[in-house]
C-alpha cells in the first residue's frame, strides 16, 4: 500500500466511531477543488510502510474502534484487500472513502467482509461531472459508468453507506443537488460538505468563495440531506 499520511485519532471521520485515519497516495481524478492535492500523484511513493501504520494502530488500540481508509483514492491500490484483512484481524471496523470509480474493487472488499461502511462521492450532475473531476468529457464517460455501477453495488449489498457532495460554487448548484438526489434515491443517507478554499489543486479555486451557510442550509432542506 502507498500510504502518505495518517491521523492517530479522530471523532469526526467515521460516524459514531472513534477511529484511526489512513491517507493513501494516488488518485485517478483531478478535481480542481481537491483539498488534498499532494495525495493525487500516482507516481509518488508512499511515506509510511504498512508495518509502521499497523504498529501505530496497535498503539491506539484501546482508544479506537475503527479505521478510515481515505485518500487519494484507496481502491486504486491492488493490495487494498490484503491490507484491510490485516486491520480486520485486529477486530476493528473499517470505513472506506471512495470516489466510486472502481466498482470491481468495491464489490471484492464488500463480498469479503473487509469493509463496514462506505462513503462515496457523487460530485455533481452527470452532465457537469467532467468539470468536477478535471478530466475530458470522454474520459469522464467511462468513470461515470463505474460510479453508477458502484452506487448499484452499495444499494444491492447489505452495507451501510452514505453519498456525499462537496458543494463547490459553479460546479454544484441547486439543480445539480436535486438531480443527484433523484439519482441516489430518496432514502439514501446524503451529506453535503462545504467547499474549503484554503488549499485547492487549481489556483483558480483558491479565489472562489464558498456558499454562505444559509444557502447550504436552504439547499440541504430542499433535497433532505444532512450538512457536515
Ligand atoms: S477530491 Fe478528487 S482529486 Fe482529490 S482525492 Fe478526492 S477524488 Fe481525488
Give the tens place of pLDDT for each residue, 186-223. 999 999 999 999 999 999 999 899 999 999 999 999 99
SS3 for 67-128 is EEEECCCHHHCCCHHHHHHHHHCCCCEEEEEECCCCHHHHHHHHHCCCCCEEEEECCCCHHH
Q: Whose CA is nearest to atom 4 of ligand 1?
A: 34
pLDDT digits (tens, 9 = 90+) for 2-27: 999 999 999 999 999 999 999 999 99
User: What spacing in Å lies between the alpha carbon of 71 and ligand 1's midpoint?
Assistant: 7
What is the pTM for the complete model shown? 0.96
Average pLDDT, the chain: 97
C-alpha atoms less than 13 angstroms from C-alpha of 59 in its C-beta half-sphere: 9
Ligand 1 atom at shortest distance from the alpha carbon of 36: 4
Residues with CB under 6 A from ligand 1: 27, 29-31, 34, 36, 39-40, 71-73, 99
Q: Say what the pLDDT of residue 158 is.
A: 86
pLDDT number for residue 228: 87
Residue minimizing CA distance to atom 1 of ligand 1: 34
Looking at residue 34, what is its pLDDT?
97
pLDDT of 68 higher than 90: yes
Counting residues of the chain whose pLDDT is more than 90, the rounded percentage is 98
Average pLDDT over residues 37-52: 97
With contact defined as beta carbons under 8 Å apart, do 86 and 57 qualify? no
Top-level class of domain 3-227: alpha beta
Q: Which atom of ligand 1 is nearest to the CA of 72?
A: 5
Amino acid at each position: 500500500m502507498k500510504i502518505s499520511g495518517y491521523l492517530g485519532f479522530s471523532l469526526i471521520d467515521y460516524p459514531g466511531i472513534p477511529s484511526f485515519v489512513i491517507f493513501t497516495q494516488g488518485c485517478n481524478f483531478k478535481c480542481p477543488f481537491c483539498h488534498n492535492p499532494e495525495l493525487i500523484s500516482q507516481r509518488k511513493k508512499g511515506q509510511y510502510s504498512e508495518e509502521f501504520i499497523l504498529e501505530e494502530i496497535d498503539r491506539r488500540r484501546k482508544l479506537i474502534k475503527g479505521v478510515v481508509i481515505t485518500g487519494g483514492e484507496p481502491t486504486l491500490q491492488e493490495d487494498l484487500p490484503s491490507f484491510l484483512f490485516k486491520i480486520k484481524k485486529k477486530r476493528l471496523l473499517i470505513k472506506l472513502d471512495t470516489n466510486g470509480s472502481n466498482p470491481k474493487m468495491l464489490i471484492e472488499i464488500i463480498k469479503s467482509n473487509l469493509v463496514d461502511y462506505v462513503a462515496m462521492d457523487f460530485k455533481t450532475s452527470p452532465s457537469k461531472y467532467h468539470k468536477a473531476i478535471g478530466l475530458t468529457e470522454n474520459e469522464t464517460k467511462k468513470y461515470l459508468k463505474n460510479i453508477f455501477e458502484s452506487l448499484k453495488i452499495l444499494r444491492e449489498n447489505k452495507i451501510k453507506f452514505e453519498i456525499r457532495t462537496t458543494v463547490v460554487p459553479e460546479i454544484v448548484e441547486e439543480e445539480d443537488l436535486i438531480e443527484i438526489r433523484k439519482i441516489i434515491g430518496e432514502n439514501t443517507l446524503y451529506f453535503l460538505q462545504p467547499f474549503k478554499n484554503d488549499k485547492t489543486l487549481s489556483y483558480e479555486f483558491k479565489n472562489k468563495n464558498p456558499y454562505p451557510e444559509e444557502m447550504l442550509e436552504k439547499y440541504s432542506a430542499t433535497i433532505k440531506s444532512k450538512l457536515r
